[in-house]
Amino acid sequence: MVDQIAPAVGESTVDVLEYLGITVNFLDDQTCCGQPAFNSGFRSEALPVATRFIELFERVEGPIVVPSGSCAAMVRNYYGDLFRDDTNLVERAKRVGERLYELTEFISHFFGTKAIAGRLDNSATYHKCCHLLREIGVEEQPLEMLFQVEGLEMTPLERADVCCGFGGAFSVKMPDISSAILDEKLDYIEATKANMVIAADTGCVYQMQGGLRRRGSDVQVVHIAEVLSKSIKNVGRAESSE
């Protein structure tokens, strides 16, 4: 999803990691972790895709960073189920999973939530994406990072931890239910009067943005990687113009 629909999120992720002094190696051959098929129940289709993911990332060393709590949850929490008939793969998946971090988790774990000092003049609210929150267990760190961004006025979002209704294939299979959940979320978003909603998973970003657009709202939904990347660039620009 990031690769083909939201490459800017991927590139922003690279920006942020490079800002922290990390050499980023993007594996050109990568496609998907297999979650869409797995979550839809098609495990025999997910299995080779997930195996391919493991094989690819076994060939490189070091931490693996993904700008998605959902993909991280798939690898860390659900590969065990997907591979359950193959103990060898379960073990290998576990080892890859131990090296894999969601972006904000990675930054806060290795660099702290104050490592990025950027500037972005805007008003925003933050939606807590479900898988990052409940599968990975990251709740306050992204907010702490956003509070560090100078000029960014953060407004709390009512029921920020309630799902936006995305749920992958669920959003297409049962669009009326998915949208009813989304509507509630959008009402709370609009009530904040913020210009921007920040979230950490592209699925949720597009669910909310797609719904806001349909409502005719100007509120922008932005991935946290993009916010951080922009805030760093703003500071860089300011410094170079001085």
Partner 1 sequence: MKPLTVNFRSKAAETLQDAQIQQSIEHVYTGFFKGRLEAAGDTPEWEELRTKGKAIKDHTIAHLDYYLGQLADNVEKNGGSVFFAEDAAEARKHIIDLAHKREIKTVIKSKSMVSEEMGLAEAMNDEGFETIETDLGEYIIQLAGETPYHLIAPAVHKSRTDVAKLLDDDFKEGDPVPDATELTMMAREKLRGVFERADMSVTGVNFAVAESGSIALVTNEGNGRMSTTVPRVHVAVMGMEKIIPSIQDLSTMLRILIRSATGQRISTYVTMVNGKRKPDEEEGPEEFHLVIMNNGRQKLLADPQMRESLNCIRCGACLNACPVYRKVGGHAYGWVYPGPIGAIVTPVLTGLKDASNLPNASSLCGACHDACPVKINIPRMLLELRYRTAEGSSDIEERTSGAKERGIWKAWRIGMMGRKRFDWAARLSRIVLLPIARNGWLKKTPPPISGWTSTRDFPLTASKSLKSRLSSRAKKAK
- Contacting positions for partner 1 (CB under 8 A): 2-8, 10-11, 14, 26, 28-32, 34, 36-46, 48-49, 52, 78, 81, 130-131, 133-135, 161-163, 165-168, 170-182, 184, 206-207, 209-211, 213-214
CA–CA gap between residue 52 and residue 97 (Å, rounded): 14
Closest CA to 164 of 195, 133, 124: 133
Distances (CA, A) of 29 to 69, 97, 138: 21, 19, 29
Whole-number minimum distance, CB 170 to partner 1, in Å? 5
Whole-number minimum distance, CB 234 to partner 1, in Å? 19
Whole-number minimum distance, CB 54 to partner 1, in Å? 14
In the complex with partner 1, the residue whose CB is nearer, 117 or 180, is 180
Whole-number minimum distance, CB 148 to partner 1, in Å? 26
In the complex with partner 1, the residue whose CB is nearer, 27 or 238, is 27
In the complex with partner 1, the residue whose CB is nearer, 99 or 134, is 134
CA–CA gap between residue 89 and residue 72 (Å, rounded): 17
**Token reading at 231:** 């805030």
Q: What is the DSSP letter of 29?
A: T
**Token reading at 56:** 């690819």
In the complex with partner 1, the residue whose CB is nearer, 118 or 168, is 168
Taking residue 160's Cβ as centre, other Cβ atoms within 10 Å add up to 20
